[in-house]
Amino acid sequence: MKPNRPVGIVGYGAYVPRYRIAAKEISRVWTDGHGGVPVSAKSVPGPDEDVITMSIEAARNAIKRSDMQASELTAVWIGSESHPYSVKPSGTIVADALGATPFVSSADFEFACKAGSEALTAGMGMVGSGMANYVMAIGADTAQGRPGDALEYTAAAGAAALIVGPAAESLATIEETVSYVTDTPDFFRRADRPYPVHGNRFTGEPAYFMQVRSATQALLQQLGVSPNDITHAVFHQPNARFPQAVAKQLGFSAEQIQTGLLANRIGNTYSAAALLGLTAVFDVAQPGDTILMASYGSGSGSDAYLLRVTDAILARRDRAPKTLRYVEREYFVDYAVYAKWRDKLVMG
């Protein structure tokens, strides 16, 4: 898919909370320290943080890197599976905090970990059709893992904001996108239930790997491009291993995915994950670099994009804190504090 009018990313911003819990601390509680861990640590939102507060900071960072103002945004869309309200879009509060109200569109997106990229694709359509000049697409989550479950080691928190705008004003153009979606129930949460369930190994080959490969291969084929032609690749990262494996399957090298791979230090930030990897790449990419990004959302599906970095990135990317700055800002808490903050203690 590509719109008639060329579009790109005119501003980008990241946010990761400063708190961390070591995966070994989680296994200390649940397995007495036995067994391996899928990441080294994961980010933990502070007690005064949620999808809305993280989105606000990521979005403010994105606006700083753009040359436009929040009042020019036609839409503010947040994709998440942990919206603070089930009824009342996170976007209404974020749009107000940014100064984008009142002439703005703002509904919440949900597609597990690819809710943010769904907003990105919709933004491409809005801008590409000429209906808007600027759309803010945010992926953000404060993911919850059932205590003691495998997912608890990785369910983390973060936000990434991308402003879609005309290609002429962008830091990176979006050449093309492919969305690949099927009814594949690898991981899901019923309404009104607190924790999701997942199909263990079913979340692997039939789900993550199949959808990510299919979207990426279709994209590369449409563009007549091979992995060798691409500078950076960013994949959805539920843990450290999956993106490395799918990269290998697709023919990407370890070097190509290195910059965008953050999961080992911050865990799986769900709707922010692939987008945060993209922002980390933007922080160091050179004009002319190409970037392949493929998100993944359980349910399931993958959105693949090919981006091309422009000259404009050099002058604008230092206007806001880099993604690595947030990643390296670490304050470790123990399981008790983590459980208290994440509302895992039943208070009666």
Partner 1 sequence: MEHARMELARHWRHRHARYRLQGSRHTTTGAIAFPPRDGSEWEPTLLSGQGTVVTYTVIHQPPLGHHGEVPYVLAIVALAEGPMITAQLSDCRANEVQIGMPVEMVTRLLGNEGDDGLLLYGYKFRPLLV
Residues of this chain that interact with partner 1 (CB under 8 A) are: 18, 46-50, 52-53, 56-57, 84-85, 93, 96-99, 321, 325, 329, 340
User: Which among 25, 83, 113, 118 is annotated as catalytic?
Assistant: 113
Collapsed DSSP state (helix, strand, coil) of residue 158: strand
Helix (H) / strand (E) element for 30: namely helix 23-30
Q: Which amino acid is at 294?
A: A
Q: How far apart are CA 27 and CA 259, in angstroms?
A: 28
Min. distance of Cβ 52 from partner 1 in angstroms? 7
Alpha carbon distance 228, 235 (integer Å): 16
* Polymer length in residues for the chain: 348
Query: Is residue 81 annotated as a catalytic residue, yes or no?
Result: yes
Comparing CB distances to partner 1, the nearer of 189 and 329 is 329
* Nearer Cβ to partner 1 (87/190): 87
Q: Which is nearer to partner 1, 59 or 285 (CB)?
A: 59
Residues 183, 143 contacting (CB under 8 angstroms)? no
Is 205 catalytic? The answer is no
Burial class (CB in 10 A: 0-12, 13-18, 19+), 348: exposed
Residue 49 C-beta: closest distance to partner 1, Å = 6
| Residues 284 and 259: beta-carbon distance below 8 Å | yes
Q: Give the Cα separation of 9 and 127 in Å (integer).
A: 11
Instruction: Kindly tell me which of 98 and 119 has the beta carbon lying closer to partner 1.
Output: 98
**Residues facing residue 111 across a β-bridge:** 113
Minimal distance, residue 195 CB to partner 1, in Å: 18
Shortest Cβ distance from residue 284 to partner 1 (Å)? 18
d(CA 4, CA 270): 31
Question: Is there a catalytic annotation at residue 25?
Answer: no
Shortest reach from residue 11's CB to partner 1, in Å: 17
**Residue number, 97 or 230, with CB nearest to partner 1:** 97
Active-site entry in 81, 118, 152, 175: 81
| Active centre residues (catalytic) | 81, 113, 236
